[in-house]
Structure 1
């Protein structure tokens, strides 16, 4: 849908009446489709569709030197890249601020949930460790990239093989400890919605992303856009997000 002033006013008016253009409830996610390990030369991969938003996450590795302060831990590097055909506004070149923010939020969700046992990625203490790259590519954009990219990353890691320095017939499972799930809430006046589309994002000036561990603990939060939340609204966001992350986890981390 073209983002004209009339369209934006129409979306805002309907949201205040608890109506969304795609007929979903305010706290309802779009349909999620997942295909795993389509990239045969990656440790693991996940192609995820969240409504019309589509992302591809691939996990790859290389041997590197550990950081001085963590000589017995592997290195994690996360990136998000927009494909030019994913949206009319996307261009080739360096990642913009939004792509950088998304990659940092995904990285923080994985790190702060202690999702990966980085010590298992140590080859020789102080000398060699595995560097794990989590690369997310946005193939089609229709909103809510943070949740789509983190979920695709977690599923790709869950189904990844452990890197090995020497060839062996026995494959080891990737050292995954937790499964982080993010829920992003948008606000228009006193209305909170989950899983906003591109059109909805264009008229919502406030965003809050909450990332949970398996136990339902909050491991990271990210506030975005220009407006703010009241304390009561934050409490409502927490309640909505906690319930929704359980539903997503029951589907994709069972």
Structure 2
């Protein structure tokens, strides 16, 4: 349901008091649940929940022709879509700007981390490659979509096997070389919060998503919405995000 103005005002007031309706700390994530390979027909898949936000990602591979400027590399294509009942405000038709941005941020984090060895997706230079589709679907939207979708996609890749031209071929692990994790921080006046719920997101006017490689290096960033950050705020966000990335990575590494 749409949040009424009185409830939104109350949530914003609590944030300024360093309080959250679910009693979490400002940098505390909701519980993360991971299900490995729930989709039998996918090369790899992951169903993931962060609190009440739920997404599912599947990996598939199709034969294709390489691009002229990368004749010995495979291709990856990432897409993120809402399931029809993921949120009340979802309408059928072309994706809106928010969904386009979400897909691009998830794709950029995967691409810029170089977490897939694209050369191992080449079957014959200039002739034949594997085209890998990373398809993520939002089952329930309760905030924190960028972080949830990215983690689900990367875990699905981590769980995946290489596609095969011949079913008699032995299973081979997918050529994963890194494990990017995104951390999204939002700002309301002077307050910085991680892992916002959908209701909390109505208060915030500025967002920064940072993608980290397994070595803790930043490989991608995305500033969203209309507000801005001071240098001091940026440093604070990067410090919080760097610490939180390590925590999320420990959870993911158990799978």
Q: TM-score, normalised by structure 1?
A: 0.98
SS of the residue 1:85 aligns to: coil
CA-atom RMSD in angstroms: 0.9
How many Å separate the matches in 2 of 1:187 and 1:167? 51
Q: Which runs of 5+ in 1 are unaligned?
A: none
Q: CA deviation at 1:210?
A: 0.3
Structure-to-structure mapping, 1:50-199, within 5 angstroms: 50-168=50-168, 170-199=170-199
Q: Which runs of 5+ in 2 are unaligned?
A: none
How many Å separate the matches in 2 of 1:174 and 1:70? 20
How many Å separate the matches in 1 of 2:120 and 2:60? 16
How many Å separate the matches in 1 of 2:240 and 2:76? 30
SS of the residue 2:239 aligns to: helix
Is the Cα contact below 8 Å between 1:54 and 1:140 reproduced in 2?
yes
* Equivalent residue, structure 2, for 1:217: 217
Aligned length: 254
How many Å separate the matches in 1 of 2:136 and 2:92? 15
Q: CA deviation at 1:2?
A: 4.6
* Equivalent residue, structure 1, for 2:29: 29
Q: CA deviation at 1:169?
A: 5.1
SS of the residue 2:199 aligns to: helix
SS of the residue 2:85 aligns to: helix
* Equivalent residue, structure 1, for 2:207: 207
Q: TM-score, normalised by structure 2?
A: 0.98
